[in-house]
Amino acid sequence: MISGVYIMNSIKIDMTDRIPPFLLKAARYVEKMLMENGFEVFLVGGSVRDLVLNRKISDLDFTTNAHPEQIKKIFPKTIPVGEEFGTILVLFQRHPVEVTTYRNDGLYKDGRRPDSVVFGQSLKEDVLRRDFTINGMAYQISQKLLIDYVDGRKDIEAGIIRTIGNPMERFQEDGLRPIRGCRMMANLGFVFDPETQSAMNQNTDVIAKVAPERFYDEWKKTLKIQHKHNYWNALKKSGIFNIFFPDFQHLNHNETRWNNLMQAIEHSMPRKMGIYMAHFFYQEFCDDNFFVIANNTELNILMKSFFQRNRFPLKTQKLCTNLLFSPLLSALDNWEPSHENNVLIKTSLSKINQEEWMHHVRFIKEILYSHYIQTPLLKRKSTQYHFILNQMIKTIRQYKHGKFVLYLNELNINGNDLMKLGLQGKDIGNYLKNALDYVIYNPDKNNLEDLHLFIKNYS
């Protein structure tokens, strides 16, 4: 049971039908074990917010007056992921459930983390240290009781993002909070409370202390939200964008480039960080008259420093770089309505790793949408570029049905065959490349007889 002090700030509401069955079993297990041992326990944070909003939840965060050592004794399988901060992962059928002891945070001298953590005595003091009111509600599943000390439910109904307590203090404690607030605002379609917005604009010095990799984590979470433009517009309006993208002068000061970026990332919703990031570089460096980026030197310099500073995963860096130098961009610039165009697309695809084909096509699609389909003066070109896109997709499908070959290892001739013809060293590689070009132009010639004839005539 819970003490009467909670009743004044609570409401009976059954939200158990909104919790996925497996998570509900896990939640009841955690509650039951802690309460049977004489402890309080509540579901808290974003999961409660999403339950109130009737949105899908995928994880569970609990808070309790049990200390870490007590939690580990109660549950047979635990992982001490942040024991110094009171956090223990409880495993339910191998699924991790976060359980954290009530706590009071000490001073935040570096704008990133508290200097000390003191375990608290009550749910209320734990709630009052949190960031936003809509994340400050707690729910006890067994009692079907929603506890709200901070008017989080009221702010949800009004569609408002508001800090718990003084917004200047909240943002000076942790510079990541304004960034997280922008993500929640965009994801939920809410607006900032005026005082919260003002405090966010005034704390860019603290926000600048946020480690780039923490910003990257927030950025990655926006992959799944529908209104990405709201997130980035909020970052730009508050000056946060300039903190993490100081070298992107076109995006910081050119409204057309910025709007093109917003259109690109909103239209097809990139699902890979490599594609997502590529659009930022592309809009910063693209030419108004060509698809291929001409200023390769400056682009490479900026990419290298940006990737190092933000510690992007190597796989993401590689995809981003490959997209920015995609042969399909050159194909767009050289497109003419003739038979040769299919060859142009084939040749371009042959220079791209097959696993990345659809990423390149998606990137091209988003670029075309932002640059042409939404530009009134160039709408007459939109039909042409839609045709090019369709041709790219059609060519990929034809390849997958075995209509032609695009890679050296698919040729019906190899290095050993060429050695028998008397070729050696680098000549073998050169002849194979030329043979590939030959069969791309002439798909029916990929047989040993025709390829032998080609090699003899070529030499």
Considering only 242-246, 249-253, 276-280, 285-289, which range has the smallest mean pLDDT?
A: 285-289
Per-residue pLDDT at 377: 44
Dihedral through CA 7, CA 10, CA 11, CA 15, nearest 10? -120
Q: Do domains 1-152 and 159-244 have the same CATH topology?
A: no
What is the C-alpha radius of gyration for the chain, rounded to an integer number of angstroms?
Answer: 29
Q: How far is CA 161 from the centre of its chain?
A: 22
pLDDT (tens digit per residue) in 281-318? 999 999 878 899 988 899 999 999 999 888 889 999 99
Rounded distance, CA 132 to CA 152, Å? 8
Q: Which residue has the tokens 């030499």?
A: 459
Per-residue pLDDT at 194: 96
Rounded distance, CA 409 to CA 70, Å? 61
Q: What are the DSSP calls for 132-174, one per residue?
A: BGGG--EEETTTTEEE-SS-HHHHHHHTEE-BSS-HHHHHHH-
433-437, long-range: CB < 8 A, 24+ apart:
433/408, 434/458, 435/411, 436/350, 436/405, 436/406, 436/407, 436/408, 436/411, 437/347
Per-residue pLDDT at 10: 86
Could you tell me if 131 and 163 are in contact, meaning their C-beta atoms sit under 8 angstroms apart?
A: yes
Domain boundaries, the chain: 1-152, 159-244, 247-400, 408-458
User: What is the model's pTM?
Assistant: 0.86
Residues for the chain: how many in total?
459
Per-residue pLDDT at 111: 46
Domain 159-244: which CATH number of 2.60.40.1180, 3.30.300.30, 3.40.50.11720, 1.10.110.30: 1.10.110.30
With 0-12 / 13-18 / 19 or more C-beta atoms within 10 angstroms meaning exposed / middle / buried, residue 64 is: buried
Which CATH number is associated with domain 1-152? Answer: 3.30.460.10
3-state secondary structure of 62: strand
